[in-house]
Structure 1
Amino acid sequence: AWDFAQGKAVEVDNAFERPQCSACFIQHVGDDLMDIYELLKTEARLFKYGSGTGTNFSALRARQEKLSGGGTSSGLMSFLDVFDRAAGATKSGGTTRRAAKMVCIDMDHPEIIDFIEWKVREEDKARALIAQGYEADFNGEAYKTISGQNANNSVRVTDAFMAAVEMGGTWRTIARTTKATVDEYDARWLWKKLGDAAWACADPGVQFDTTINRWHTCPKSGRINASNPCSEYMFLDNSACNLASLNLTRFTSADGQLDLGSFRHAVRLFLLAQEILVDFSSYPTAEIAHNSHRFRPLGLGYANLGTLLMLMGLSYDSPQGRAVAAAITAVMTGEAYAMSAEMSAAKGTFEDYETNRDEMLHVMSMHRDAAHGIDRAYCPPDLVDGACEAWDRAVRMGVESGYRNAQTTVLAPTGTIGLLMDCDTTGIEPDFALVKFKKLAGGGYFKIVNQSVPAALSRLGYAKHEVDQIVAYVSGTGTLADAPHIDRGALAKAGLTSGEMAKVEAALPSVFEISQAFAPWVVGEDVYARLGLPERDGSSLLRKLGFDGKQIEEANDVIVGCMTIEGAPYLRDQDVSVFDCANRCGAKGKRFLRPESHVRMMAAVQPFLSGAISKTVNMPNESTRDDVRELYSLAWRLGLKAVAIYRDGSKASQPLQAKRTKEKKDQKADRMVLASGSEATPDAGVRGPSVRVRLPKKRQGFTQEARVGGHKVYVRTGEYADGMLGEIFIDMHKEGAAFRSLMNCFSMAVSIGLQHGVPLSTYVDQFSFTRFEPQGLVEGHPNVKFATSIVDYIFRVLGVEYLQRYDLAQVPPAPVQHRIEDPSDTKAHKDMTASLPPPEPSAQLALPEPPEPALPGDALSQSLDDLMGDAPVCDNCGHITVRNGSCYRCLNCGNSLGCS
């Protein structure tokens, strides 16, 4: 922290008197091993106290560059993997929040291709793991296994590179140590690589280095190389910024317009409070503490812009919406710099102001010119006049007194604090969807409904009863009362108790799909047991209670809501665009904001910010790679400092869901619950692991009674119309309740897997030869005569019956043995001889086969596998037995199992 008496940064005794108040940090790393690991330690300290950090790692030498002590470097990517693992291990703030980290790499680094494709490769690995059954959650095993998931990645590109892309030129990568050219690429090919990667997994984003440094207020003190994790704070290395955000809707008057007087006052008050924090905060390193005192950068911003525009009756994607956003941002930053100049007159300028005076005043003039360029045709006159007046005053006072702060404003994401601030939209973002579900890091989902829709409708002139009906159409009634088909009366008639219905009612306001309110963890397991339902999902319960798919859907639209305003009663066509969101809303929604509209909104406000904008450009799933590249190019042409995109569904795990999707007609598949499926015959090779294909109500199968080690076992199967296995049941009535229940659950799990497309062969390969008690001789099956466990027996039987896996049978079926039971049976003889291969030419038969070369290790392993692969433990001495004919013999004590 800064010590006023000594005039320098000193180490503090505790973090309570001088807490860490900054959330955003930018740090430097040098091409030195100790410097690299010093940064690792500092990052861990920042994550511990809930902050985020960004670093440009381009100084690190590339793979195969020479080391001073001899040998070659392992390269940039090897160290990035270390930093990624460290960030994943350090939960931010000591809670379940993830560490926040930004990795920036210059486009001229020799390992730029590996960096661009890093997350693409890792995302492919995650999808492969998820396809094998690992959890898809971003905290699950699949994403824990892969690397590169704990940071935002950005590539720094210059105007020179973008010009090469435009002109079809080449681009060179430069060695960090010798400055020699390493590779030369077609610039358009590199740009294509970058766009393809962002399309595939949303990373990397792009930071436009030349634009960033053009608006830099302190270029003589150093260049801007990186940003904080969210890309809104862009300043010198080893610096920090404390953030604050204002909820714009709290400054609206009765007619929905912005109250400029109260907004200006809040800006002045917040900036003063942030300024006081600078020297009373602690920082992770002495250099960051000194630079914070030296430059005093602040990060005031706002949130809820999307809602404010909605309340004003303006579409996010309109010239009017962009002009209003530009004017509001200009007022905020102009007033902030005017306040900074006022504080400078009283307390003095920031330390490096005089060094950078001319450059900073030039940037202030650029801001002022942009304010005077706001299109008055699309913006209320008082807003434009307020913006121009604020910037005229800020520049005039700065010339006279200088500035107390090198930077004053940014637009932060306000993702979680926005909820605490009662914001419906975060930062500069439009609403993600009118009704959405946020996946929580600690597990579960949180239903978020836009609370500003009623007020916006009222200001647009709708009567109260019209507003009520439109809102109910969007977000549902949240109750069974007056619901079509599925109401209290119908449920009582179907057999649900009042207590069970009360549980359903309590769950309805927070569900994505009505079937979730009928899940076993809501209504209780006894309901399913009472109705004899082996399935454990809400849609199967509703169908069992007598409701068909159409009735469930109609009830769902009323109770849970359509989640879109499109098609709502009373809504005028000209007002629909006011409620457009970043994504299609609900299953019925068709409209969404064009990705280009996000970029144009950012471009409207960027000239009025000290820093940049934390914003994700949402793109629909069907967007192409060319769309992504064009969006990045548009951002550069419009003067943005940075841009990042997210194509819906491009990652196997995403935190926000906006709708339920229909897999087939009359079948809704909620992304958070088991798909309800349909009664259909499976099409071999088409069934995906996420679509459940139910068995017909009446189906074929067999029941096999047998004894395994003296324990009676019944295996029952259910088949699809084409004979494919679709379910199994396992009964062992004389076993204990716990074991019997485990076997029942196991059979249900296998059945669900089969119905979701898991091949039977996968189960057979996985569970054959599983060993546990009871095990032993099998009585009652014609082919399987010994099993090492009940599970082994079950999958040997299924393998033999459905896959013709006769290698699992101790006694293969007769045709496989190629022998005639009755010598007089000429038909059998004909069948057998017909199945034999044709005789080979005598010349070939006369020649002996050359012996294969001896492989002692392989031969021994094969022999042991043949002898002991499925052998049981000796019941006398405990050693592994070996096969002896159709039985097993212990080589240690001579005991024989079942033969003599």
Structure 2
Amino acid sequence: MSTSEQDPHVHKSFQTQHPHHQETAVTDTLYDEKHETTPARGLTIARVFTTEGVHPYDEVTWEKRDVVQTNWKTGEVVFEQQGVEFPSSWSLNASTIVTTKYFRGALGTPRREASLKTLIDRVVGKYQSTGWAAGYFATERDAEIFGEELTWLLLNQYFSFNSPVWFNVGTDAPQQVSACFILSVDDSMESILNWYREEGMIFKGGSGAGLNLSRIRSSKELLRSSGGTASGPVSFMRGADASAGTIKSGGATRRAAKMVVLNVDHPDIEEFVETKAREEDKIRALRDAGFDMDLGGADITSVQYQNANNSVRVSDEFMQAVNDGTKFGLRARTTGEIIEEIDAKELFGKIAQAAWECADPGLQYDDTINDWHTTPESGRITASNPCSEYMSLDNSSCNLASLNLMKFLRDDDSFDAEKFIKAVELIITAMDISIVFADFPTESITQTTRDYRQLGIGYANLGALLMALGKGYDSEGGRALAAAITSLMTAAAYRRSAE
């Protein structure tokens, strides 16, 4: 019997619209038509990486280290924690990142974490206990094996969760686990101020957010209330930029991450395109005048628009106009009528010039993105997260995890596909479990994420793997290997969802 047949309260999207749905994990029990509870059929977890009777921590050599960070300009010590415990195989760089970014508790207090064991136990313990309580596993012993396997993978650097997991899971803070959020904003002051608030709460939890500003009327349109001219989205970007620059993401020394997107047919598109390039001119002038304009410098905060990635959302229609050298219409937000025509090729040249000068704006191909939409009946995709790997619905979030491909390279230069598949199955299970206990900043994000369960499993070290195998990054062999690994990872994750 399918989940939907057993429980009429299960949202349709769980079975038909998102492949990462864990059928047996919707609730602790499933309900039949008589409202009698029946045990959920959970997963049986076989050992792959661990050994029965041997804890993963007992398989490695541990050592104490002192982690010290200094200001690169002055030499002043900006962070110090002595006697932290890590496996001897971990690099100094890895232990420094974990100690400075992920250990929780105030320095110098008993609550301060000082061992990788404590950190991993805090996180894995939450996944294991929630997975068992929510019916993911056939027996409690399966849950315990799952926890040990997950611990082994993290301890041996086979994968990592995204940073919000390390920041928040198992602490007293809200259990924000998603690194990536997509928000929405409408053409009203209430909505714009709500955008500022939502972004601030997301940054506080250690995550990033993106949104499309194209619903906000342009500076070339009138306000209904007063008859005056609207401010336009670029002006409202200033407030959001200042907020992002003020809030340290996750309470750590980590810059907030944000993305702002504007459709290419918005009347303020040219101002948007050139905004960051103009600010870069200011940076160069101020640096030449003796001001400290380095990243994190004392004077850099006086320059605007430095806390977001900007992207132009282009359509096939616009790209065809660029190709044909024809005019392209910019449309009023309130009426949809064309209020100005521009030379498409000239605008495209401005986009390219600005990107050459300051690496912004990027391009997002709206029609292509929506052609690849996995749940098109749910609405259009209009924006992305700050890094642009997550394209999905407005008011949604995505939890990320990344596998280290170099760990699956055997001594004979073959790729261990069998262990890679098993690792993917364990990790995608953990990621799905996180949606059960996760906290989200708004009700709409909570609903969308639990309905569609967006999970971003991926990999790192592809470049290192190709170099180790002597394959060119832009070679047929390199692309074929990357495609095979990606396909295998995707299929393994989808299959585990079906199980």
Shift of 1:3: 11
Report the counterpart of residue 40 of structure 1 in structure 2. 196
TM-score by length of 1: 0.36
Report the counterpart of residue 605 of structure 1 in structure 2. none
CA distance in 2, matches of 1:185, 1:68: 26
CA distance in 1, matches of 2:240, 2:293: 23
Whichever of the two has the greater Rg, that structure is 1
Q: Does 1:23 align with 2:170?
A: no
Matched position secondary structure for 1:200: helix
Q: Does 1:133 align with 2:290?
A: yes
Matched position secondary structure for 2:346: helix
CA distance in 2, matches of 1:170, 1:72: 26
Shift of 1:136: 3.1
CA distance in 2, matches of 1:257, 1:312: 9
Shift of 1:16: 3.1
Shift of 1:248: 0.4
The one-letter code sitting in structure 2 at the alignment partner of 1:262 is K
Q: Conserved in 2, the CA contact under 8 Å of 1:54 and 1:101?
A: yes
Report the counterpart of residue 256 of structure 1 in structure 2. 413
CA distance in 2, matches of 1:316, 1:155: 28
CA distance in 2, matches of 1:153, 1:237: 17
Report the counterpart of residue 112 of structure 1 in structure 2. 269
CA distance in 1, matches of 2:445, 2:27: 16
Report the counterpart of residue 63 of structure 2 in structure 1. none
Gaps in structure 2 of 5+ consecutive residues: 1-24, 31-169
Report the counterpart of residue 245 of structure 2 in structure 1. 88
CA distance in 2, matches of 1:110, 1:91: 33
CA distance in 1, matches of 2:413, 2:339: 58
CA distance in 2, matches of 1:137, 1:47: 22
CA distance in 1, matches of 2:417, 2:203: 38
Report the counterpart of residue 229 of structure 2 in structure 1. 72
Report the counterpart of residue 221 of structure 1 in structure 2. 378
Matched position secondary structure for 1:93: helix
Write the mapping of 1:873-892 to structure 2, written as runs, cut at 5 A: none
CA distance in 2, matches of 1:136, 1:36: 30
Q: Does 1:293 align with 2:447?
A: no
Report the counterpart of residue 160 of structure 1 in structure 2. 317
CA distance in 2, matches of 1:18, 1:233: 23
Q: Conserved in 2, the CA contact under 8 Å of 1:18 and 1:280?
A: no
Write the mapping of 1:120-269 to structure 2, written as runs, cut at 5 A: 120-269=277-426
CA distance in 1, matches of 2:27, 2:462: 39
Report the counterpart of residue 58 of structure 1 in structure 2. 214
The one-letter code sitting in structure 2 at the alignment partner of 1:137 is D
CA distance in 2, matches of 1:294, 1:47: 23
The one-letter code sitting in structure 2 at the alignment partner of 1:282 is D
Shift of 1:143: 2.3
Matched position secondary structure for 2:457: strand
- Please give the root-mean-square deviation of Cα atoms over the aligned residues, in Å: 1.9
Q: Conserved in 2, the CA contact under 8 Å of 1:130 and 1:142?
A: no
Report the counterpart of residue 856 of structure 1 in structure 2. none
CA distance in 2, matches of 1:286, 1:31: 21
User: Cα distance 1:86–1:337, how it changes in 2: closer, same or farther (>3 A)?
Assistant: same
Q: Deviations over 1:184-228 (max 9, x none)?
A: 111111110100000011100111111110110111111000000
The one-letter code sitting in structure 1 at the alignment partner of 2:266 is H
Q: Conserved in 1, the CA contact under 8 Å of 2:208 and 2:256?
A: yes
The one-letter code sitting in structure 1 at the alignment partner of 2:364 is Q
Q: Deviations over 1:492-520 (max 9, x none)?
A: xxxxxxxxxxxxxxxxxxxxxxxxxxxxx
Report the counterpart of residue 790 of structure 1 in structure 2. none
The one-letter code sitting in structure 1 at the alignment partner of 2:206 is G
Matched position secondary structure for 1:144: helix
Q: Deviations over 1:257-279 (max 9, x none)?
A: 21110011111111111111112
User: Cα distance 1:92–1:17, how it changes in 2: closer, same or farther (>3 A)?
Assistant: closer
CA distance in 1, matches of 2:222, 2:263: 20
CA distance in 2, matches of 1:215, 1:320: 25
The one-letter code sitting in structure 1 at the alignment partner of 2:276 is K
The one-letter code sitting in structure 1 at the alignment partner of 2:319 is M
Q: Conserved in 1, the CA contact under 8 Å of 2:181 and 2:395?
A: yes
Q: Conserved in 1, the CA contact under 8 Å of 2:177 and 2:439?
A: yes
Shift of 1:144: 1.2
Shift of 1:58: 0.6
User: Cα distance 1:48–1:182, how it changes in 2: closer, same or farther (>3 A)?
Assistant: same
Report the counterpart of residue 798 of structure 1 in structure 2. none
Matched position secondary structure for 1:67: coil
The one-letter code sitting in structure 1 at the alignment partner of 2:199 is E
CA distance in 2, matches of 1:24, 1:77: 23
Q: Conserved in 1, the CA contact under 8 Å of 2:220 and 2:267?
A: no
Report the counterpart of residue 332 of structure 1 in structure 2. 489
CA distance in 1, matches of 2:491, 2:346: 42
Write the mapping of 1:277-676 to structure 2, written as runs, cut at 5 A: 277-342=434-499
The one-letter code sitting in structure 2 at the alignment partner of 1:318 is S
User: Cα distance 1:322–1:302, how it changes in 2: closer, same or farther (>3 A)?
Assistant: same
Q: Conserved in 2, the CA contact under 8 Å of 1:49 and 1:92?
A: yes
CA distance in 2, matches of 1:261, 1:4: 31
Write the mapping of 1:636-785 to structure 2, written as runs, cut at 5 A: none
Q: Conserved in 2, the CA contact under 8 Å of 1:157 and 1:206?
A: yes
The one-letter code sitting in structure 1 at the alignment partner of 2:468 is L
The one-letter code sitting in structure 2 at the alignment partner of 1:112 is I
Q: Conserved in 2, the CA contact under 8 Å of 1:245 and 1:300?
A: yes
User: Cα distance 1:326–1:3, how it changes in 2: closer, same or farther (>3 A)?
Assistant: closer
Write the mapping of 1:810-821 to structure 2, written as runs, cut at 5 A: none
User: Cα distance 1:3–1:330, how it changes in 2: closer, same or farther (>3 A)?
Assistant: closer
Q: Conserved in 1, the CA contact under 8 Å of 2:318 and 2:328?
A: yes
Report the counterpart of residue 13 of structure 2 in structure 1. none
User: Cα distance 1:79–1:18, how it changes in 2: closer, same or farther (>3 A)?
Assistant: closer
The one-letter code sitting in structure 1 at the alignment partner of 2:330 is T
Matched position secondary structure for 1:256: coil
CA distance in 2, matches of 1:156, 1:177: 19
Matched position secondary structure for 1:245: strand
Higher relative contact order (CA 8 A, sep 6+): 2
Shift of 1:17: 7.8
Q: Deviations over 1:767-794 (max 9, x none)?
A: xxxxxxxxxxxxxxxxxxxxxxxxxxxx
Aligned length in residues: 334
Shift of 1:332: 0.8
Shift of 1:302: 0.2
